[in-house]
Amino acid sequence: MAHVTLVRHGQANTTARDETSYDNLSDLGRQQSRWLGEHFVTSGERFARVYCGTLNRHRQTAEAIGVEGKSAMVEDARLNELEYFTLAHLFQTQHGVAIPEDREGFVTHLPQLFTAWKDGKIADAPESFEAFEERVGTALHEITGGEGRALVVTSGGLIGMAMRVTMGLGLDALAHACLAIENTSVHRWQPLPTGLALTQFNALPHLQSPERQFARSHL
């Protein structure tokens, strides 16, 4: 098994309330990604393999990071984010729970949404909670089964689910983990005989200097 590093995409369209509008990096998101790529170079970080989801913000982030593996980057739809806005609109229509207008609102909204989704109480969801969990677990297992360190550019919800799969998080803990994950943050798993162990969570080495603190973002 190989070490795997998951990176959340750079800041996207923070004013969006649908999947399509959200799926492009902001100027800040591109800069965050370039800085992360520079950090990987200056710190001597090397990856044998590079993966990303098929969403625009995943590709744009990976391109701006600019890290190359020994072979071409692999795009894998299993690494795509859950369709949060689609689920949130369905949740509002079917259960009257409004979509939050600020980050504080997401703190209570996301656990409610995840619970209803997992319990099958959101009709016509684009995929079931179980299907999302399965595809994340399967993709992670396949990637860690390859040779050499792997870099994966993906989204916060998928990183949170990777934590659930490897650490057995409950729904509240899963929601809290997802809410904490910042744009272009770095998360690492180390293979052990008993499975994958999370060794780094939400690291932002490229944004730690005082002059870059302004560039930290969640949405």
Q: How far is CA 184 from the centre of its chain?
A: 9
pLDDT value at position 1? 64
Beta bridge partners of 178: none
Q: What is the pLDDT of residues 67-94, one digit of tens each?
A: 887 789 999 999 999 999 999 999 999 9
Indicate the residue type of 110: L
**Cα dist. 189→45, 109, 152 in Å?**
15, 28, 11
Rounded Cα distance between 78 and 197, Å, is 21
Q: What is the mean pLDDT of residues 165-180?
A: 95
Half-sphere exposure of 73 (CA within 13 A, CB side): 19
Fold of domain 4-206: Rossmann fold (3.40.50)
Q: For residue 15, is pLDDT > 80?
A: no
Rounded Cα distance between 77 and 27, Å, is 25
Q: What is the mean pLDDT of residues 17-40?
A: 93
Rounded Cα distance between 116 and 109, Å, is 11
Q: What is the pLDDT of residues 106-162, one digit of tens each?
A: 889 999 999 999 999 999 999 999 999 999 999 999 999 999 999 999 999 999 999
List the domain boundaries for the chain: 4-206
Place of tokens 């993906």: 154
**Cα dist. 159→3, 80, 101 in Å?**
15, 10, 23
pLDDT value at position 106? 83
Phi (first) and psi of residue 153, to 5 degrees: -100, 120
Long-range contacts of 105-110 (CB under 8 A, 24+ apart): 106/179, 107/179, 110/175, 110/178, 110/179
Rounded Cα distance between 160 and 176, Å, is 9
Q: For residue 188, is pLDDT > 90?
A: yes
